[in-house]
Amino acid sequence: MVNIEFFHDLEALSRAAAAFIEARALKHIAGKNIFTMAISGGSTPQKTYALLAASPYRERLPWGKIYLFFVDERWVPADSTFSNFRLVSEAMLKFLPIPKNNIFNIPVGGKSAPADARQYEKMLKAFFTGLNFPVFDLVLMGMGTDGHSASLFPSSSALAEKTKWVINSRAPIDFPVPERITLTLPVLKQARETLFIISGKGKGTILQELIKNPAAAERYPAAHIITNPATTLFVDKTIFT
């Protein structure tokens, strides 16, 4: 059974997503004095990030106890317009009183995408010590029009990875940046909670299939996470128009 809530537009969805994130952050900080969240790039979460960077969330959340990680990254310089880190920085990070050491962006300055993927895995293992896989308190994700999520694309060999935390992957030829670095399915499935925020034309048909027949939809990478009981979907109703 998919946990799903519908909103009449992206604005309403974003307000609900910001409130959802705040509630989870405060709950985990009250219980263990820390909150870990893996965040995604793309256009859909930008309004959510802008809300978190403004009042009342900017003042109300204890940002010194919040640790942010990235679900995936395009292998481009950090100042590229295609960079997820730049996107999130411009929308949220540069406005927040969050220590730089609390932000774990994916390295992109190495000799290759595989090398930077290995470096990010080392960074995660230094933080999440003694675990087979990291356990994020919350992962914020989206879904593409092809059913991809993170940088895990349909028919990609990356979907078969069982042991690594971070890998390099390749986007289809029609995507602007082919080389990617992404968290793996085993890592994403370990999250205590996952929030999908879904908006944009061309996604309604795939989402309907995911809801009505999850087994048949397994060819879509997003299905492997959406059907997890710990996953919640916030959906903009306009995707069906």
Instruction: Note the pLDDT of residue 9.
Output: 97
pTM: 0.96
Cβ atoms of 22 and 240 within 8 Å: the answer is no
Q: What is the mean pLDDT of the chain?
A: 96
Instruction: Note the pLDDT of residue 213.
Output: 80
Cβ atoms of 88 and 39 within 8 Å: the answer is yes
Instruction: Note the pLDDT of residue 22.
Output: 99
Interval 23-46 mean pLDDT: 98
Instruction: Note the pLDDT of residue 215.
Output: 74
Q: Dump pLDDT digits (tens) for 181-229.
A: 999 999 999 999 999 999 998 899 999 988 888 776 778 999 999 888 8
The whole-angstrom separation of Cα 119 and Cα 189 is 21
For the beta sheet containing 72-74, the strands, ordered from the edge strand earlier in sequence to the opposite edge, are 72-74, 179-183, 166-170
CATH topology of domain 3-240: Rossmann fold (3.40.50)
Q: Dump pLDDT digits (tens) for 76-87.
A: 999 999 999 999
Cβ atoms of 198 and 142 within 8 Å: the answer is yes
Distance of alpha carbon 215 from its chain centroid, rounded?
23
Instruction: Note the pLDDT of residue 166.
Output: 99
Q: Dump pLDDT digits (tens) for 226-241.
A: 888 899 999 999 999 8
The whole-angstrom separation of Cα 188 and Cα 183 is 7
How many CB atoms sit inside 10 A of residue 145's CB? 13
Q: Which residue has the higher pLDDT, 53 or 209?
A: 53
Instruction: Note the pLDDT of residue 218.
Output: 77
The whole-angstrom separation of Cα 96 and Cα 66 is 11
Indicate the domain borders of the chain. 3-240
Interval 150-176 mean pLDDT: 95
